[in-house]
Amino acid sequence: MRYIPPSKKLFVDNRKRFVSQMISDSVAIFNSNDVMPTSADGTMPFIQQSDMYYLSGIDQEESMLLLSPNASDPFLREVLFLKETSEEIAIWEGEKLTKESARAISGVQSIFWLSQLETVLNTVIIHAKSIYLNSNEHLRAPRVVETRDDRFAKWCIQKYPLHQIERAQPIMHVLRPIKSSSEIAQLQQAIDITEGAFRRVLHFIEPGVYEFEIEAEMIHEFVRSRSRRFAFQPIIASGHNACVLHYVENKDLCKSGDLVLMDFGAEYGNYNADLTRCAPVNGRFSKRQKAVYNAVLRVQREAMNMLVPGNTIPEYHKEVGKVMESELVGLGLLSRTEIKRQDSGNPAYKKYFMHGTSHHLGIDVHDYGYPEMKMKEGMVFTVEPGIYIREERLGIRLENDILIQKNGIIDLMKNIPIEAGEIEELMNSR
């Protein structure tokens, strides 16, 4: 693999945490993602199912994990099933995981080939009362494509119709928001690679470059630093494009006098960075651009201070909205009268700041975590306020990744330039 994997202790500990939440006399089964098709015989690059990776560290298609903590045979309490490799597969696709290499990565000692799946499953499930099955229950998931987990759930329910079916996701949504020190290290590596790409493009951006050329500079820096891909489809939005929240075409020419908004991040070992910065195409902010930029920066810093144990996302967003409201008045975009007459269900500030301020970050860019959960030590959130003024062709968003601690926060992106003066200085030092 391209990235350097973390210690197997991370995955051993994650399995222990999951098993501790299972009801007695139960088993849990997790599947890898499919290799997704494009058309003809084409496929997309493989990306592992995040729960499967979290619990096993196995980053290969056609893999399964079985957890059966009450199995009478200790050898069957943790089992990995792998696609059996062959000389032909090695010739065409390269070597796949061996049983020995899978043990070294995951810490799971019992490894079988997938051809042995039904025999082993039947041995443990027949003595269990409940079966935990996995599915995608993320609040923002479109759930259009049937996954390998979905297909397995149908098969399993048909084969064992009298067993009690439990959902794995409520447990995962409690466990995964709290990041261990090993996970923070993986996130920091992704963030450091992202920093390198940002510093690179600050020396590249100038009038006459295309948005996609900036994207190309980023992926160059990612790949040479062991990242396999963008963490998500990058937004490289100059001028009026920055007012389109999910602009991903990255096709236009960057012009002098405009700002370019860059929302991007590197993936490293399945963990993801999420950064947003804005830069003046000609290397100098105008007076108005700087005023709006600094307003967003002040909101971001106020918001960071609200990330404390015990707070919740709904309450947090409400308070961030009040700070943004004040800044928009200062910029002449809202009046006190408008605010006084606003609909509480649709605050006036939403005209210029339409999205939320934060989301969980981890193996998934929009990582697990229920909105009503209280913030806790070990959670990682983005902080990304923005102001979008379509009539001025001006959109500014600033985003950092923040770790909550018991007594304060750690800005995991503290080394990435953010002050307007820093941006200008770096752009003009080439």
For the chain, the domains span 9-175, 181-427
Task: Compute mean pLDDT per 10 residues along the chain, 430 residues long, and list them.
Answer: 94 98 98 95 95 98 97 96 86 88 97 96 96 93 90 97 97 98 98 98 98 98 98 98 97 98 98 98 98 98 97 96 97 94 90 97 96 96 98 98 96 98 94
CB 180 within 8 A of CB 10: yes
Pairing of strands 267-268, 271-272: antiparallel
pLDDT number for residue 344: 80
Give residue-wise pLDDT tens across range 290-335: 999 999 999 999 999 999 999 999 999 999 999 999 999 999 999 9
Token pair belonging to 322: 């009040």
Q: Give domain 181-427's CATH architecture.
A: Alpha-Beta Complex (3.90)
* Full DSSP string of 255-275: -TT-EEEEEE-BEETTEE--E
Q: pTM of the prediction? A: 0.96
For helices 313-330 and 287-305, the axis angle rounded to 10 degrees is 150
pLDDT number for residue 143: 81
CATH class of this structure's domain 9-175:
alpha beta
Q: How big is the CA angle at 383 (ends 250 and 315), to the nearest 5 degrees?
A: 130
Give residue-wise pLDDT tens across range 19-35: 999 999 999 999 999 99
Which residues on neighbouring strands pair with residue 388, listed in sequence order?
395
Tell me what the pLDDT averaged over the chain comes to. Answer: 96
pLDDT number for residue 363: 98
